[in-house]
Amino acid sequence: MSARNPGMNMDLEWVSKVRVNTQAVLKRAQQIQSVKLAKKQWQAAWLLKAVTCIDLTTLAGDDTPSNVHRLCMKAVQPVPYDLLQSMGMHDKGVTTGAVCVYPSRVADAVKSLKAANSSLPVASVATGFPAGQTLLKTRLEEVRAAVADGAAEIDIVINRTLALTGQWEAMYDEIRQFREACGDAHMKTILAIGELGTFTNVYKASLVSMMAGSDFIKTSTGKESVNATYPVAIVMVRAIRDYFLRTGHKFIRFPLDNQQLHMIKANFMACRYAGVVCAIDGTHIQIIAPSKDEDVFVNRKKVHSINTQIVFDATFNILDVAKWPGSTHDPRILMGSGLRREAPCTSWVSCWVTVAVPARRLDTLSQSTTGSTVKVGFKPAGGIRTAKESLVWLALIKEELGDAWLGPHLFRLGASSLLADIERQIFHYVTGRYPALHELPMA
């Protein structure tokens, strides 16, 4: 998994101001579902990606050491070796993201994976799953017991009563205690969205969970009447993005050693721009459709956005920032904003990305790396059964959160029957036909 989320102090003012535009959420969910999905070899590659993000799960009353062992062996080898070999993926270590069981079965799962010489993490549901209605001290002890038995990930459930009655500070305090009880184990917080009533409650519960230190937020237990849906996912991932933008420990690292600096200078010289003293670059930041002047925020990719440009000097200091509606072309921002006045140069060379050096050299201008040390993951769970659905979920994450979230460290699919259909589709890709019942091992 990714770095732990340290959480933050409860910001009740932020939570209280939350309002969700239901129509905009539903519209965006429809757009996601209409995305053209990959075909042929590209689809097969995305399906393998989905496999690596599955929390292979058994949460049944008749779970025994034997079926937990079988589940673990399936998680270690989720796709038959001969199919992976045909795809050239047999030596890539394709496994599921984790195995998820009840606390009483954690020791069995750890034992089976150890015997298979696998480092696959064991996840355990806890805190009175699925209802979360047991006493707090009992829920805390359940977390500690699962961790003691070897669980590397704990899926807690929130107290829905606190969320429905607006007791956000009490909910924060409970989750914070669960976080402490987890110790070094990563914590996924299940919101049980089917019992929260409104999108606004879902967003608020997401925020409070992340503030309290959740490493993942998860849609459902799989036991509610409504589980993982695309509209709810939009609300939750937007909360993740907002939390990241406000609290992420952001960094920009610039080169310090002479070799890198000489490389930068050589690139400038090769382009005959040895006298360049500044550059401008821009990016589109996706937003929820505003209530006023919606059309002017639609960019050429038909997405609502803010077109943001920055100007920085030869020492890589940011001098100014301009933010215009997404339909605005880059040259218009450059000419109409105050960016040029802040730049330490009087003449400009216009390039196809509106920078003062060629676009192909922009990456070597600073050789810098940017990012954040903390990101919160997302896990939809419940009702995800088909390979096509898994592709839509991956598309949603790519569109809303970006490539950084496309991996088991920040994205999981909670499912028990999904893997079987993905296997069928991969079998069809490799052989050109669907398998008979005896041709694939039981999940």
What b/e string do you get for 81-115 counting C-beta neighbours within 10 Å, with b at 16 or more?
Answer: eebbeebebeeeebbbbbbbbbbebbbbbbbbbee
Helical H segments across 214-288, by residue range: 230-247, 258-270
From the list 55, 215, 379, 421, the catalytic residue is: 379
Answer whether 279's CB lies under 8 Å from 365's CB.
yes
Quick one: which of 368, 298, 399, 373 has its CA closest to 34?
399
Annotation marks residue 155 as catalytic: yes
Name the helix (H) or strand (E) containing 204. Answer: helix 199-211
From the list 218, 281, 375, 421, the catalytic residue is: 218
Annotation marks residue 92 as catalytic: no
From the list 108, 155, 215, 281, the catalytic residue is: 155
Q: Angle formed by the axes of helices 65-76 and 106-115, to 10°? A: 50
Cα 348 to Cα 354: distance, rounded to the nearest angstrom: 10
Q: What is the CA radius of gyration of the chain?
A: 24
Cα 76 to Cα 98: distance, rounded to the nearest angstrom: 9
Burial of 159 (0-12, 13-18, 19+ CB in 10 A): buried
Annotation marks residue 375 as catalytic: no
Q: Which residues are catalytic?
A: 155, 218, 379
